[in-house]
């Protein structure tokens, strides 16, 4: 796939074929309120591009093409309010990672670049009644047990025997509920999963044979790259009432699990991009970047992609549900007891890469929008009907993973987020260097030993992956959370310090 050339940052136009325009970036970024910055609509931009970031993070953002990409997204037909970018934004395929864009369901578009290759990559936070200060040598045993019990790495095959066509269809249609019915977890897990772990409208028939083939052996696998299972301790509670609602207290042992739809989701995206590039509907949409290929929601290609994307999202929720139970079993082997006696419970599962039909107020009118979140999470406020009943008085948990050596955070959605970002917030720390650059920076270093000196036990199948994912490769999640607080779109609840990490 063709990459665009870097646009000028002085407001000039760069042409990449007919009807192509690169948006204004750089000096045109102006602060509109604390933590919120904007590039005014110009040229072919239908709406402004709006960035939620601190001044410190802006310096990093200007180091790649992500701001340019946010301006490019603003050109797409049917976009509502603004092209949005979260404080962890960095360059991605088409859309920036950290990008949020909503399109009118009646006359808007759908773009695979606005979801990404790892469809419904996401995180789930698990709390326990175990105390971190009581672990002793059992921490290392737990990390190694999780590594043994959860298949990880490129091409890894799952703990579940290869799915039959019938079972794969059921996974694709029903998501996390299929895993619970198969004996992996409890019905309450579904209640604490975004969208109850299933997007309606999924159609297994929309997937190619190759996508199905890639998914069959991979249910219950962690994968590689930035995916992980991390053992953590609640280091500090920052909002007592919300922490109590989420079942979190200082000194408590938690686990954060990060994975997605694996090869199945990647193939769904690849197939859709190829189909849309061939589509006649695409010719009607001016593209500032070929990677932003999009088609009308009403087109056959748009409908097929949405049906397949929803199925891949459901696969990812089933995948994380299965792995959560594998972690539960690993804990039972190391500590004894049961789910109940361990106090093992899902706090929340939230998606990072997804497009969903949602109802939002726009200019005082209730409208149905297709909200693309790529490297961004839902952040609904207190009182919203889609927030689990147990959390409705405080709002939805927003999970912000850190890196292997620095803390992660639990935040909570706000009313301002609903007004400004369609109820969206950041999804993590965000990369500060490419994987290639991280490998160069890590050459000759013992990342295992460095993390051990920080008090973090690491189990990784690939030293290469460990170098690519070293802490310096990421922004500081604390800075991202401060930007969320400053702009008002999420409120910090608790800080979680890593003490054990399992990587592919």
Q: How far is CA 436 from the centre of its chain?
A: 22
Would you give the distance in Å from CA 497 to the centre of its chain? 20
The model's confidence at residue 155, banded by pLDDT at 50, 70 and 90, is low
User: What confidence tens digit (pLDDT) does each residue in 207-226 have?
Assistant: 999 999 999 999 999 988 88
pLDDT score at 287: 85
Residue 359: partners with Cβ closer than 8 Å, 6 or more residues away: 366, 367, 368, 369
How does the average pLDDT of the chain come out, rounded?
A: 91
Other Cβ atoms less than 10 A from the Cβ of 106: the count is 11
* Residue 282 pLDDT exceeds 70: no
pTM reported for the whole predicted model: 0.92
pLDDT at 10: 28
- CB-CB contact of 244 with 237 (8 Å): no
* Residue 457 lies inside a defined structural domain of this protein: yes
Q: How confident is the model over 287-312, as a mean pLDDT?
A: 94
Q: Is residue 80 part of a domain?
A: no
Six token digits for residue 76:
């797409």
CA 412 to each of CA 233, 322, 347, 374, 491: distance values in angstroms, whole numbers, following the listed order:
19, 26, 12, 19, 5
- pLDDT of res. 26: 47
- Range 353-364 average pLDDT: 96
Q: How far apart are CA 267 and CA 396, in angstroms?
A: 31
Active-site residue (options: 24, 227, 258, 427):
427
445-487 pLDDT, tens digit each = 888 899 999 999 999 987 788 889 989 899 999 999 999 999 9
User: How many CB atoms are closer than 10 A to CB 172?
Assistant: 30
Of 67-76, 125-134, 455-464, 480-489, the one with minimum mean pLDDT is: 455-464
> Rounded to an integer, what distance in angstroms lies between the CA atom of residue 186 and that of residue 340?
11
Domain count within the chain = 1
267 is a domain residue = yes
What is the pLDDT at residue 154?
66
pLDDT at 22: 35
Average pLDDT for residues 163-167, to the nearest whole number?
A: 94
Asked if the model's pLDDT at residue 1 lies above 80, the reply is no
Range of lowest pLDDT (6-15, 97-106, 428-437): 6-15
Q: Give me the phi and psi of 350, to 5 degrees please.
A: -130, 140
Structural domain includes residue 323: yes
Q: Is the model's pLDDT at 428 over the cut of 70?
A: yes
Active site annotation includes 427: yes
- Whether residue 2 is predicted with pLDDT greater than 50 in this model: the reply is no
Residue spans of beta strands (DSSP E) within 282-363: 295-296, 345-351, 353-362
Q: Stretch 80-109: mean pLDDT, rounded? A: 96
Instruction: Give residue 284's pLDDT band: very low, low, confident or very high (50, 70, 90).
Output: low
In a domain, 437, yes or no: yes
Q: Does residue 317 have a pLDDT over 80? A: yes
Q: Does 6 have pLDDT greater than 50? A: no
Q: Residue 351: inside a domain, yes or no? A: yes
In a domain, 29, yes or no: no
Q: Residue 399: which domain range? A: 122-503
Angle, helix 300-335 to helix 262-278, in steps of 10 degrees = 170
DSSP state of 23: P
Residue 252 domain-assigned? yes
Burial degree of 450 (CB within 10 A; 0-12, 13-18, 19+): middle
The Cα angle at residue 189 between residues 87 and 352, in degrees rounded to 5: 20
Q: Could you tell me the CATH number of the domain that includes residue 449?
A: 3.90.1860.10
């Amino acid at each position: 796939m063709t990459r665009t050339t870097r646009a000028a940052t002085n407001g000039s136009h760069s042409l990449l074929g007919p009807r192509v325009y690169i948006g204004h970036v750089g000096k045109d970024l102006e602060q509109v309120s604390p933590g919120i910055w904007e590039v005014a609509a110009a040229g072919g931009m239908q709406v402004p591009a709006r960035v939620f970031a601190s001044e410190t993070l802006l310096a990093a953002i200007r180091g790649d093409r992500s701001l340019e990409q946010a301006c490019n997204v603003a050109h797409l037909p049917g976009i509502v309010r603004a092209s949005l970018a979260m404080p962890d934004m960095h360059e991605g395929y088409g859309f920036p990672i950290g990008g949020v864009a909503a399109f009118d369901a009646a006359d808007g578009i759908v773009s695979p670049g606005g979801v990404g290759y790892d469809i419904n990559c996401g995180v789930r936070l698990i709390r326990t009644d175990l105390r971190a200060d009581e672990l002793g040598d059992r921490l290392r045993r737990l990390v190694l047990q999780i590594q043994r019990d959860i298949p990880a790495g490129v091409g890894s095959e799952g703990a579940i025997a290869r799915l039959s066509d019938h079972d794969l269809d059921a996974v694709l249609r029903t998501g996390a509920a299929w895993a619970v019915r198969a004996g992996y977890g409890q019905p309450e897990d579904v209640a604490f999963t975004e969208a109850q772990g299933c997007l309606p409208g999924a159609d297994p028939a929309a997937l190619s044979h190759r996508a199905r083939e890639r998914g069959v052996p991979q249910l219950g696998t962690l994968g590689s790259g930035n995916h992980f299972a991390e053992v953590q301790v609640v280091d500090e509670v920052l909002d007592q009432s919300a922490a109590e609602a989420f079942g979190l207290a200082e000194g408590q042992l938690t686990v954060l699990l990060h994975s997605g739809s694996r090869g199945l989701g990647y193939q769904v995206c690849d197939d859709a991009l190829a189909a849309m590039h061939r589509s006649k509907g695409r010719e009607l949409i001016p593209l500032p970047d070929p990677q932003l290929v999009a088609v009308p929601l009403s087109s056959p290609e748009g409908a097929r992609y949405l049906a397949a994307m929803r199925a891949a999202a459901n696969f990812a929720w089933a995948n994380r549900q299965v792995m959560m139970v594998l972690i539960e079993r690993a804990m039972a082997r190391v500590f004894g007891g049961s789910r109940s006696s361990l106090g093992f419970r899902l706090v929340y599962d939230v998606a990072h890469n997804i497009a969903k039909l949602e109802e939002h107020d726009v200019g005082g009118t209730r409208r149905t929008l297709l909200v693309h979140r790529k490297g961004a999470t839902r952040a609904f406020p207190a009182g919203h009907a889609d927030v689990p009943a147990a959390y409705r008085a405080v709002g939805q948990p927003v999970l912000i993973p850190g890196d292997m050596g620095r803390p992660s955070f639990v935040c909570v959605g706000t009313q301002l987020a609903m007004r400004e970002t369609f109820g969206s917030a950041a999804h993590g720390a965000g990369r500060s260097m490419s994987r290639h650059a991280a490998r160069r920076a890590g050459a000759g270093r013992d990342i295992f030993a460095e993390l051990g000196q920080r008090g973090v036990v690491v189990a990784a199948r690939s030293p290469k992956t460990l170098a690519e994912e070293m802490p310096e490769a990421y922004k500081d999640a604390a800075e991202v959370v401060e930007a969320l607080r400053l702009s008002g779109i999420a409120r910090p609840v608790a800080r979680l310090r890593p003490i054990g990490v399992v990587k592919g």
